């Protein structure tokens, strides 16, 4: 064999062998790498062939998106016309039409406050953070009014998307601090506090949310002094917050337990007292570890807000359910529920993605 040499630059690079690049190689490596794999691929393609085109036709090609009643819809396709007719109901519930600007304003401010909390490169973040801290109060004032010249709007008029957001945001804002307290309480060396926290957490986690909501909505007045009562939505908010905080506490406890004991010992040896050690050393680390769990709990809380339909509040699902029974739009359960599903999917999937981003950003190399 004679050795062949090329002067640099005289010959172009040869392309790689055709079976290691390009679509053919990709197909071979990812879909048909072995006989079993090939069979699986073919079966999957067949199943997709069965499902996708008909679903596509039903949802897009044969579907009707504009119309007044069921009769305007083409047979054989999805009847999405109800969305246009009921869109305002899905977004605002029964909120008075002339006051809806307040809901819109609250939503815009929520975006601003949320951006400051979630996005650390936001311009003027420090100032907006201060605003975000008091946002829950501002939001509550904008929505229900009754103070400083805003007309009062009863919470029984809340509904649709704004109700879901109200429950979700309130639950998220208040369940985290409460959850931290419960988690610390559960780790406490003081037996009474410890067992109270354990009892509370385990009770809440042991019963379904709807039984708690049922008690809060129909029986709470038994436990209040005769004649007193308070707003139904407020009770729901409290119950949802308590419920989420019990789950939050367990997530954070996991984070606390994952920290090496040396961290606390080091803090003690520096002369930090309990609250300093927790605030400066333990919690920042524990919370960082718990981020995926915390976000999952948020998503769970957000999804659980649909359960309020069981006690008669009308979130998007409740409105959808009422639409199903409307004689003008009979028999549309699939369309209505799919529409609501898309809404929930977008918001929950968004939260999950953000959690991934945060996890990667805060990963300071402890993970190997």
Residue 303 contacts residue 315 (beta carbons within 8 Å): no
Nearer residue to other proteins within complex by CB, 132 or 335:
335
- Asked whether the beta carbons of 351 and 299 are under 8 A apart, the reply is yes
- Please give the backbone phi and psi of residue 207, each rounded to the nearest 5 degrees, phi first: -115, 150
Between CA 193 and CA 256 the distance in angstroms is 18
**Is-contact 163 153, C-beta < 8 A?**
no
> Interface residues for other proteins in 171-190 (CB under 8 A)?
189-190
* Contact status: 37 vs other proteins (CB under 8 A): yes
Residue 349 touches other proteins, criterion: CB under 8 A: yes
Integer Cα distance of 116 and 147 in angstroms: 27
Whether 313 contacts 240, CB under 8 Å: no
Q: Decide whether 94 or 141 has the Cβ nearer to other proteins.
A: 94
The C-alpha atoms of residue 201 and residue 183 are separated, in whole angstroms, by 9
Residue matched to tokens 């996005």: 119
Q: Which of 16, 19, 22, 44 binds other proteins (CB under 8 A)?
A: 44
Which residue lies nearer to other proteins by CB, 65 or 274? 274
Of 192, 262, 269, 360, the one binding other proteins by CB under 8 A: 192
Question: Is there a contact between 140 and 205 (Cβ–Cβ < 8 Å)?
Answer: no
**Residue 226 touching other proteins (CB under 8 A):** yes
Contact 243, 304 (CB under 8 A): yes
Closer by beta carbon to other proteins, 150 or else 310: 310
Q: How far apart are CA 96 and CA 152, in angstroms?
A: 11
User: Least Å distance between CB 14 and other proteins?
Assistant: 28
* Residue 221 binds other proteins, judged by CB under 8 A: yes
Place of tokens 């199943």: 47
- Contact between 75 and other proteins (CB under 8 A)? no
Does position 264 bind other proteins by CB under 8 A?
no
Residues 123-162 that bind other proteins (CB under 8 A): 154, 156-157
In the list 20, 104, 257, 334, the residue contacting other proteins (rule: CB under 8 A) is: 334
Instruction: Please name which of 219, 362, 368, 355 lies closest in space to residue 299, comparing C-alpha atoms.
Output: 355
Is 358 in contact with 291 (CB distance < 8 Å)? yes
Q: What is the CA radius of gyration of the chain?
A: 28
Binding status of residue 40 toward other proteins by CB under 8 A: yes
Which residues 276-305 are close enough to bind other proteins by CB under 8 A?
299, 303-304
Token look-up 């998307």 returns 161
For tokens 């680390």, the residue is 285
Least distance between other proteins and beta carbon 272 (Å): 13
Question: Does 331 engage in binding with other proteins (CB under 8 A)?
Answer: yes
Site for other proteins in 95-114 (CB under 8 A): none
String of contacts with other proteins for each residue 228-257, x by CB under 8 A: xx----------------------------
> Of 344, 354, 358, 359, which one interacts with other proteins (CB under 8 A)?
344
Q: Would you count residue 215 as binding other proteins (CB under 8 A)?
A: yes
d(CA 319, CA 313): 9
DSSP state of 64: B
> Which residues of this chain interact with other proteins, rule CB under 8 A?
30-31, 33, 37, 40-41, 44-45, 48, 94, 154, 156-157, 189-193, 196, 203, 205-211, 214-215, 217-229, 299, 303-304, 306-307, 309-312, 317, 321-322, 324-325, 327, 330-331, 333-334, 337-338, 340-341, 344-345, 348-349, 352
């Amino acid at each position: 064999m004679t050795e062949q040499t090329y002067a640099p630059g005289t010959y172009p690079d040869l392309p790689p062998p055709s079976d290691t690049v390009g679509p053919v190689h990709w197909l071979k490596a990812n879909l048909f790498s072995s006989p079993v794999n090939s069979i699986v691929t073919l079966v999957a393609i067949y199943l997709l062939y069965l499902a996708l085109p008909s679903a596509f036709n039903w949802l897009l090609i044969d579907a009707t998106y504009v119309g007044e009643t069921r009769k305007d819809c083409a047979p054989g396709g999805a009847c999405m016309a109800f969305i246009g007719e009921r869109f305002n109901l899905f977004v605002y519930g029964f909120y008075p039409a002339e006051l809806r600007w307040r809901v819109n304003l609250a939503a815009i401010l929520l975006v601003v406050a949320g951006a400051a909390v979630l996005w650390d490169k936001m311009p003027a973040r420090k100032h907006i953070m201060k605003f975000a801290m008091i946002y829950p109060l501002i939001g509550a004032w904008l929505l229900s009014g009754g103070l400083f010249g805003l007309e009062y709007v009863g919470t029984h008029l809340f509904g649709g998307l704004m109700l879901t957001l109200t429950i979700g945001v309130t639950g998220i804002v208040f369940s985290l601090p409460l959850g931290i307290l419960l988690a610390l309480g559960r780790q406490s060396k003081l037996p009474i506090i410890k067992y109270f926290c354990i009892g509370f957490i385990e009770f809440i986690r042991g019963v379904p949310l709807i039984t708690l909501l049922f008690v809060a909505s129909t029986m709470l007045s038994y436990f209040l002094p005769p004649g007193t009562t308070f707003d139904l939505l407020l009770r729901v908010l409290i119950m949802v917050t308590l419920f989420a905080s019990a789950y939050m506490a367990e997530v954070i406890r996991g984070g606390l337990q994952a920290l090496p004991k040396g961290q606390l010992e080091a803090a003690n040896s520096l002369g930090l007292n309990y609250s300093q050690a927790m605030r400066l050393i333990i919690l920042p680390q524990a919370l960082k570890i718990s981020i995926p769990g915390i976000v999952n709990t948020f998503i769970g809380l957000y999804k659980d807000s649909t359960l309020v339909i069981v006690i008669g509040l009308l979130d998007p699902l409740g409105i959808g359910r009422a639409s199903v029974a409307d004689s003008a739009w009979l028999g549309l359960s699939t369309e209505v529920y799919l529409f609501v599903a898309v809404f929930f999917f977008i918001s929950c999937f968004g939260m999950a993605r953000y959690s991934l981003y945060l996890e990667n950003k805060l990963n300071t190399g402890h993970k190997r």
